[in-house]
Structure 1
């Protein structure tokens, strides 16, 4: 199945470079390339891409605002996956991008293979964060007080699902979770699917945000 990709970046060289790279992959198709956030919103609604590569700093409408427009409720469940691209790994956009509904966050200086992999990962419903971005995200959560009231939605999880959610929030892959719990990796995938379904989440990135915001996982535990 071909993954349809829309590229949104205000630099023509970046759009052309990423476009050529992705178009060379047999399972990827670049359906459009735009230069600002407003164009990204319009093109995404018109072209129905599976993944939008979204630059953060763009004219007219920045990538964060564009992501909010694309993925605001109820479109959060039906909109495209958004992969945020930036040259800055320590800017203030990491947390807000994930809150806006982005599924991934990748640095523009990452190897070409990483970009291709990232598109496939978010298209498959997984969340993806560059290591330096993960550190920034954890640091951001560390400065925020944990929510005292446990969200009612978490009560729908079984004890094992809650345990899996905690491990997801700590950055473990399905294989690592399987090893930690001594179960099959397919069993972990089943748990993850049920967790996302019960909590109404799009992917693992959103699960990480909820786990920290709710206080289910506390920095330094």
Structure 2
């Protein structure tokens, strides 16, 4: 049974990055009309960076790698932001690889798996923590605080089974952990309620580096 679909597949266009001491950012994602190969990129700094073949990443210290191989954002959340900001937002505006429709991304459980099309399987890992590059792209006052407070973060995903993805592919939830934490709750605790950090240790599929960070802070 299909729970949603891929509305757009977006690949980055390299641009100068005025927000960081880096030569390039690929937050400017544009839709493509052909199947794109998706595979696990490996370690964040030394691997292939993005999970999508042909999708560049500028800040490889903070973005990409196996636990942020793919970033998805829901068209429904874009529609909410359009009303909030009073301007149109095309798919890819937030720098996501997959613009989805019909799937509750922030309600997804960390560790949840999605089957996309006939082969590809992805696993939700965490919400998107906003950065200075995102602030510069949006040109909205106090954007990082607003984005964090609203908690419509989209979802980062790791690649479980490689494959291809294209616009129109179905998305179905192939596995949902019996015990975990939603993307929304995990983000809220991590960003705004750190007294409850230990709650995140219940999250199946939480990235190892994040789990280690939390264990250090709660021990």
Task: Give TM-score scaled by structure 1 length.
Answer: 0.30
Q: Greater strand share, 1 or 2?
A: 2
Greater share of helix residues, 1 or 2?
Answer: 1
TM-score, scaled to structure 2: 0.30
Structure (1 or 2) with the larger CA radius of gyration: 1
Q: Which has the higher contact order (CA 8 A, sep 6+)?
A: 2
